[in-house]
């Protein structure tokens, strides 16, 4: 049950259900002396916020973070940073219809099986609303590591792929479109496809790619806490994620060692980067890049057969205001989780040698 | 640095370098009263052992585990289980040539950068030899959970794929060939390809698929310690792993929600299983299945350009006895890590409700 | 820095400064299905509240706890329980005089040395106000373990001692007086002494004794997480605590083994209980009892020499409304921390054997 | 059950029973680059060894530590340090008589209640033999912190007290006598008393005092992981310990704040040190000192009534070779546990501020 804390020395603990009083969290282990830019934190939250564009859920939630502790005269004090985000818009009636029924491919059934009780309002704890707290934590982690740049973007929506290598991406284009795809042509296709899917009352999946630049060498704690292992866990802990690969990933499995090895330049950098910036679980200073797979949102606006808690067949039609594709709003969450991992390992690496 | 423990309440801590006195570990949190079959544990180790077939490294290492504590009159006592595996065959001279040079795509460079010192004998701590201790831990975890069956096998070698759905696999064929592929035709192709690659002094990657049956419902601790997030971390912590996907994985991202959702039968099982036995991070009782991507082994028997610790260009030819393809020997390691994850969550789940 | 979480599987994380917006916490790992009596939780808080009697600080703080998550329709859901307590009465001006000066025997100096920055308002994080969150956590832990009774009381104030064995205490008298001493004669003396001390603008220490009845056998996780070791840490983590002893404690060191050993009755209980209900770090089913030493409050209403952050000598007179003796208000905190320890070990003990 | 690891980032995990093959441990999180003096580690072990003088148990155990990993060319590598200590002298027959009986005030009964199975040979895991591994861990922690001096000594045996303030102790006298009391007159009395007690087939308790000098300011992680709270837990986790107090301890509870406060000198040091070098849970640079209470050893050479596992009354006479007083051999264990706590907090403090 105690699975709501992430990190070893830079720790984020989150709490809250989608339709409770508030969600929130505690960051423990943030060093003292960081001048926090609170507006930047809110900006990250706004990137995740519902209703930000025509192709995401139209729910109205301001998602304003309030900090309760750990910051004094604009600086972190080294004490825990507590924060809350009020649940402004609690349309519980939208969810009354699932009180006794299990939505297919949702967590309703498994929560009931595990806990014997479930907050059925909007998925309760299993709702992706919880990820707003991760964005707050990640935004603070980013300010601890200003030199490191963490950039995520939409790499595919359904079958439509961004056909560019991470090296050739123009990051300035990411926010130029609601899909967050740094290629205008692909972005247009993706947006059109999302509108088409939504018109069908359906949903679609996609992938997010993340690139991390200016990573210090030495981050990662083998053998179990390898940098990419923790990044993988971080991504897989995000709602709807089905897969993670870094560097050459699954494609690399078909390569020969003689083609796959990254030969060194004399400065320690490598000519190629199929390793994805990580060797033996430790960063080597090259760019880190990875892909995260998101399944199609389970809540569709079509009629579905399902069962209720008595095991009786019932019919269900999705209500509420959901995302036809989770990927555009997942981009800031991927960045946030990556930042949390890097902050933790950056601190731990200070202990590697005397 | 403290990254050598895996698990929350069922904990495996490992230690040891490839060419030190011994490797070993401690399992803390194993419940009392389990009648351990020590031969079964050694059998698992033998599946990982070098020299077991013509297509793996010909190093001679008996890899005999010795238990030092935690077992009395054949039963676990609830106290920590300490064990060691002697390093019988320490051919250090094989490695003297890399004392000052960095092998491309190995951990030599990153360990030096992180720790400022490195046990250069055979990769030291970064050697896959460490995984033998994981196999011991996993073999004990399996005996804690006899009802659960965990089965891994080779799903691809290079471009050669096992073209079968996990549901249609005949597990009895896995050990019928040195590749551990449960399809004779594919196995023959894979073996031939590995021999060809080795003849070139080269290496190749591949994928391992793992299927877990008879999983109790309720395993997994959201929001961060989702069952698949921890499985992903476990797999990504294995040497040479580049990716992890479960259920519909990366392919599922191209699907529509209406096709992807797993509709319920009245008994709570689902008609399809694109969820891969996990919903909301918690097991739903259906089969869990996932794929693990392994890169080609970095040590090749061809001449390579590289650099030494002074940053000078040097030439290097791989020595020692290495695997042309790591996948066949990775199969028991994948099973072991999965068993460790399940044991931990199975215990934690006893605390989910009063 | 990450020192604000207590517990292994039943975890309390707290945050908040005495004069910030609010203090609060998160309880992660509380099993689902507990019907929580929220009034009882508030009652425990009220026992700790300032202004509750003539002999404690007259600060006015309602200390009303608001629960934000983890409770649905009156029951715990197995998800994290987040809560806040607003800081109603922020008399910051009372503290402006210590902005640059260090109060003797306070944490002002050490926080500045450690963090390089300090929330000087009322001691910030080092204020005992933080313990209100522990009382909330402990009150929930008590409801998880209704069968176990945890009772603390004042055993001494300055040189005035309660001269009774724990076995002979009438618990019903504890709340009959503001000192929380279960002996009317001693209570009167203690109260008079506290009034006298306060009239001098001075403070005094004392001890709290705690008795735990109906403890299940088997609680405690040797070798390091012995039941009494964790109880000791819990008590020593409370502000102003200087010592902990259980069972025969320090006096027992002068005894002979032949007098100190607790001989068994045939039902496994013992004729004497110098072991204090714990043997080998594990509860044996007998009453657990221990003493906690509290130093005199450091803030006195007398003129004192001290230094400022520039290292200059300055004079200081205590301001604000402080406790002349912390012991009466410490009683519920001792109970709360004991409850947190027992809840954690009670859950962990479910994992001791198959 | 997972209670066999101590520390947050500098972690010691121990395993082993008194009469198994070997005891041992793993230190994970020791920084790379420490030139280890292995002889010094063995010296610490020898101070704890049985048979070292006429007044301790005459068991013959060489207690030679063998390091298996984590050290290369004399230096720590940052990887886990595994070690074992063989159980040379396994006089199991000495213990056959307790196979089915419970020794009064031992852990026999509670281990059976908790685990349902028990290694009855010499107390198994509950034997103080396990503390040898702590001494190894502590000896390495001491070499990580050469500037800090940690000195423990016998402060009382039974009713015989060392009547000196910690400030006035001549540490050079500690090893001048088998009792490890730095006052010759008191040492003689103590030794005579131990001989007298042993002649009666009885045992006696005592106290150990520990003084830590040259402590960096800033060690300790409030609110729960206060420096003294962790020291207290460390000491209370040692076999036979019943109490812990630091600074003014229990006596300080009778003092007034005006007498108890430590006034500052302009350099930040304090004129008095009733705080015991710790304020608000954080070291202030002054000497840390504390007392640890040890009960009389439970195994006596006299006839005792007890019960067997069937709940039948039986008679028992202690066999084997036991310590009449555990205090002299406890001195190095107290130092070791203090060193482990300081190493952990010294590393954590590197993360306190940017």
pLDDT in tens, B133-156: 999 999 999 999 999 999 999 999
pLDDT exceeds cutoff 80 at A155: yes
Predicted pLDDT at D94: 60
pLDDT exceeds cutoff 90 at D30: yes
Predicted pLDDT at A50: 87
Residues of C in contact with A70 (CB under 8 A): 15
- Mean pLDDT of the region B242-259: 98
According to the annotation, is D297 in a ligand binding site? yes
**Is residue C41 helix, strand or coil?**
helix
- Mean pLDDT of the region D55-70: 89
Residues of A in contact with D33 (CB under 8 A): 353-354
Q: Give dist(CA C265, CA C262) in Å, integer.
A: 10
Query: How big is the B-D interface in CB pairs under 8 Å?
Result: 178
pLDDT exceeds cutoff 60 at D247: yes
pLDDT exceeds cutoff 90 at A114: yes
Cβ B353–C29 below 8 Å, yes or no? no
Residues of A in contact with D34 (CB under 8 A): 354
Cβ A354–D31 below 8 Å, yes or no? yes
Predicted pLDDT at D345: 98
Which tokens hold the place of C91?
A: 């008399």
Q: Which of A88-102, C29-43, D19-33, D329-343 bottoms out in mean pLDDT, i.e. has the lowest?
A: A88-102
Q: Does D154 touch chain C (CB under 8 A)?
A: no
In a 10 Å sphere around its CB, with 0-12 CB exposed, 13-18 middle and 19+ buried, how is residue A155 labelled?
buried
Candidates D6, D3, D4; CA nearest to D345 is D6
Measure the CA dihedral C208/C214/C218/C221, to 10°.
-30
Which tokens hold the place of D129?
A: 């033999």
Give the mean pLDDT of chain B: 94
Highest mean pLDDT among A55-69, C267-281, D122-136: C267-281
Q: Dihedral sign, CA of B26, B29, B33, B34?
A: negative
- Residues 6 or more apart in contact with residue A18 via CB below 8 angstroms: A87, A121, A122, A123, A124, A127, A129, A130
Predicted pLDDT at A59: 79
- How many domains is chain A partitioned into structurally? 1
Q: Does D178 touch chain C (CB under 8 A)?
A: no
Cβ D13–B80 below 8 Å, yes or no? yes
pLDDT exceeds cutoff 80 at B89: no
Q: Give dist(CA D230, CA D288) in Å, integer.
A: 13
Q: Give dist(CA C134, CA A330) in Å, integer.
A: 36
**Binding residue numbers of A for FMN:** 125-127, 239-240, 280, 295-299, 321
Predicted pLDDT at A93: 60
Looking at chain A from residue 85 to 144, which residues have their Cβ under 8 Å from any Cβ of chain B?
102, 104-107, 109-111, 113-117, 125-126, 130
Compute CA D76 distance to the chain's CA centroid, rounded to the nearest angstrom. 25
Residues of D in contact with B16 (CB under 8 A): 68-69, 80, 82
Q: Does B29 touch chain C (CB under 8 A)?
A: yes
Which tokens hold the place of A100?
A: 């006794």
pLDDT exceeds cutoff 80 at A261: yes
Considering only the beta carbons, identify the residue of C15, C67, C84 that sits closest to A80. C15
Q: Does A78 touch chain D (CB under 8 A)?
A: yes
Which tokens hold the place of C144?
A: 């998880």
Q: Which residue of D10, D11, D13, D134 to mutate against B (max B Cβ within 10 Å)?
A: D13
Compute CA A318 distance to the chain's CA centroid, rounded to the nearest angstrom. 24
- Mean pLDDT of the region D75-96: 83
Q: Which phi and psi angles does A152 have, rounded to 5°?
A: -115, 155
**Is residue D185 helix, strand or coil?**
helix
pLDDT exceeds cutoff 90 at D334: yes
Q: Give residue-wise pLDDT tens across range D294-325.
A: 999 999 999 999 999 899 999 988 777 789 99
DSSP string, D90-146: --GGGGGGGSSB--TTSSHHHHHHHHS----GGGGGGSGGGHHHHHHHHHHHHHH-T
Residue, of B248 and B88, whose pLDDT is higher: B248
Residues of D in contact with B88 (CB under 8 A): none
Q: Does A218 touch chain C (CB under 8 A)?
A: no
Write out chain C's pLDDT in tens, 354 residues. 489 999 999 999 999 999 899 999 999 999 999 999 999 999 999 999 888 888 888 877 889 999 999 999 999 999 999 999 999 866 556 667 778 899 999 999 999 999 999 888 878 999 999 999 999 999 999 999 999 999 999 999 999 999 899 999 999 999 999 999 999 999 999 999 999 999 999 999 999 999 999 999 999 999 999 999 999 999 999 999 999 999 999 999 999 999 999 999 999 999 999 999 999 999 999 999 999 999 999 999 999 999 998 999 999 887 777 899 999 999 999 999 999 999 999 999 999 999
**Is residue D188 helix, strand or coil?**
helix
Q: Give dist(CA D44, CA C118) in Å, integer.
A: 41
Residue D43 pLDDT level (bands cut at 50, 70, 90):
very high
Which tokens hold the place of B177?
A: 């060939």
Which tokens hold the place of A195?
A: 């509108």
**Binding residue numbers of B for FMN:** 125-127, 239-240, 280, 295-299, 321
Cβ B33–C353 below 8 Å, yes or no? yes
Q: Does D218 touch chain A (CB under 8 A)?
A: no
Q: How far is CA D47 from CA B274, C127, D67, D136, D316, in A?
A: 62, 42, 19, 12, 31
Q: Give dist(CA A279, CA D59) in Å, integer.
A: 50
Cis status of the peptide bond prior to B201, with omega within 30 of 0: no
Looking at chain D from residue 235 to 254, which residues have their Cβ under 8 Å from any Cβ of chain C?
236-237, 242-250, 252-254
pLDDT exceeds cutoff 60 at A285: yes
Cβ A5–C28 below 8 Å, yes or no? yes
Considering only the beta carbons, identify the residue of D23, D32, D79 that sits closest to B17. D79
According to the annotation, is C280 in a ligand binding site? yes
- HSE of C84, CA atoms in CB hemisphere, 13 A: 26
- Mean pLDDT of the region D266-270: 97
Which tokens hold the place of A88?
A: 């402004």
Q: Which phi and psi angles does A226 have, rounded to 5°?
A: -60, 150
Q: Dihedral sign, CA of D294, D300, D303, D309?
A: positive
Q: Does C282 touch chain B (CB under 8 A)?
A: no
Cβ D31–A347 below 8 Å, yes or no? no
> Could you list the residue range(s) of the whole structural domain that residue B117 is in?
5-352
pLDDT exceeds cutoff 90 at B322: no
Which tokens hold the place of D82?
A: 């595994």
Q: Does A29 touch chain D (CB under 8 A)?
A: yes
Q: Which residue of C6, C66, C68, C346 to mutate against A (max A Cβ within 10 Å)?
A: C68
Which tokens hold the place of A262?
A: 């990254």
Identify the residue whose tokens are 């179990």. A224
CATH number at residue C213: 3.60.150.10
Looking at chain D from residue 30 to 59, which residues have their Cβ under 8 Å from any Cβ of chain C?
none
Provide, rounded to the nearest whole percent, the portion of chain D with pLDDT above 90. 87
Residue D89 pLDDT level (bands cut at 50, 70, 90):
low
Cβ B311–A268 below 8 Å, yes or no? yes
Predicted pLDDT at A85: 97
Q: Does D347 touch chain A (CB under 8 A)?
A: yes
Considering only the beta carbons, identify the residue of C228, C243, C296 that sits closest to D257. C296
In a 10 Å sphere around its CB, with 0-12 CB exposed, 13-18 middle and 19+ buried, how is residue C295 labelled?
buried
Please tell me which residue of chain A has the smallest CA distance to B222.
Answer: A3
Q: Give dist(CA A125, CA C26) in Å, integer.
A: 14
Cβ C295–D352 below 8 Å, yes or no? no
**Is residue A67 helix, strand or coil?**
strand
- Minimum distance, in Å, between the CA of residue A300 and any CA atom of chain D: 44
Q: Does B75 touch chain C (CB under 8 A)?
A: no
Chains near A (3 or more Cβ pairs under 8 Å): B, C, D
Predicted pLDDT at C92: 54
Predicted pLDDT at D99: 83
pLDDT exceeds cutoff 60 at D1: no
Predicted pLDDT at B114: 97
DSSP string, C175-225: GGSTT--S-HHHHHHHHHHHHHHHHTT--B-EEEEEEEESPPTT--BTBTB
Q: Which residues of B123-154 are buried (b: 16+ CB within 10 A; e: fewer)?
A: bbbbbbbbbbbbbbbbbbbbbbbeebebbbbb
Chains near B (3 or more Cβ pairs under 8 Å): A, C, D
Identify the residue whose tokens are 């155990």. D61
**Binding residue numbers of A:** 48, 125-127, 239-240, 280, 295-299, 321
Residues of B in contact with A276 (CB under 8 A): 242
- Show the beta-strand stretches assigned E in chain B: 5-6, 11-15, 22-28, 65-67, 71-72, 75-76, 81-86, 101-102, 149-157, 160-161, 206-213, 241-246, 278-279, 282-283, 288-294, 303-308, 313-317
> Which residue intervals of chain A are DSSP H helices?
38-48, 108-115, 131-144, 184-199, 227-236, 257-260, 327-348
How much of chain C is helix, strand and coil, in % rounded to 5? 35, 25, 45
Q: How far is CA D54 from CA A191, B191, D23, D58, D192, in A?
A: 86, 69, 25, 8, 11
Q: Give residue-wise pLDDT tens across range A164-205.
A: 999 999 999 999 999 999 999 999 999 999 999 999 999 999
Q: Does C351 touch chain B (CB under 8 A)?
A: yes
Candidates D154, D136, D149, D146; CA nearest to D55 is D154
Rama region for C41: left / alpha / beta (φ>0; ψ in -120 to 50; rest): alpha
pLDDT exceeds cutoff 90 at B317: no
- Minimum distance, in Å, between the CA of residue C349 and any CA atom of chain A: 15
Give the mean pLDDT of chain A: 94
Cβ B31–C144 below 8 Å, yes or no? no
Which tokens hold the place of C174?
A: 């504890």
pLDDT exceeds cutoff 80 at A73: yes
- Minimum distance, in Å, between the CA of residue A94 and any CA atom of chain B: 20
Q: Give dist(CA D335, CA D210) in Å, integer.
A: 7
Which tokens hold the place of C94?
A: 């009372």
CA angle A94, A99, A100 (to 5 degrees): 145
Residues of A in contact with D11 (CB under 8 A): none
């Amino acid at each position: 049950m105690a699975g709501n804390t992430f990190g070893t020395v830079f720790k984020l603990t989150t709490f809250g259900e989608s339709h409770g009083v508030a969600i929130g969290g505690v960051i423990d282990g943030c060093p003292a002396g960081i001048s926090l830019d609170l507006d930047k934190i809110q900006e990250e939250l706004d990137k995740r916020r519902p209703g930000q564009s025509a192709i995401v859920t139209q729910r109205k939630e301001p998602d304003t973070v309030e900090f309760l502790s750990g910051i004094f005269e604009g600086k972190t004090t080294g004490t825990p940073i507590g924060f809350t985000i009020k649940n402004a818009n609690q349309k519980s009636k939208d969810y009354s219809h699932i009180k006794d029924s299990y939505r297919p491919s949702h967590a309703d059934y498994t929560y009931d099986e595990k806990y014997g009780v479930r907050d059925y309002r909007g998925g309760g704890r299993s709702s992706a609303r919880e990820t707003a707290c991760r964005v707050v934590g990640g935004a603070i982690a980013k300010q601890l590591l200003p030199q490191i740049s963490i950039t995520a973007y939409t790499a595919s929506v359904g079958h439509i792929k961004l056909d560019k290598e991470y090296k050739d991406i123009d990051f300035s284009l990411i926010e130029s479109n609601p899909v967050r795809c740094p290629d205008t042509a692909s972005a247009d296709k993706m947006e059109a496809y999302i509108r088409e899917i939504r018109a069908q009352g359906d949903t679609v999946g996609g992938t997010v790619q993340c690139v991390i630049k200016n990573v210090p060498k030495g981050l990662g704690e083998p053998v179990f806490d390898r940098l990419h292992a923790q990044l993988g866990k971080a991504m897989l802990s995000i709602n709807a994620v089905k897969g993670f690969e870094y560097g050459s990933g699954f494609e690399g499995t078909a390569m020969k060692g003689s083609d796959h090895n990254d030969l060194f330049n004399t400065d320690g950098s490598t000519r190629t980067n199929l390793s994805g910036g990580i060797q033996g679980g430790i960063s080597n200073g090259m760019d880190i890049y990875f892909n995260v797979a998101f399944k199609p949102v389970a809540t569709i606006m079509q009629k579905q057969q399902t069962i209720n808690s008595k095991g009786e067949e019932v019919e269900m039609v999705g209500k509420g205001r959901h995302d036809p594709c989770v990927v555009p709003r997942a981009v800031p969450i991927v960045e946030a989780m990556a930042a949390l991992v890097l902050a933790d390992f950056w601190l731990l690496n200070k202990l590697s040698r005397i």
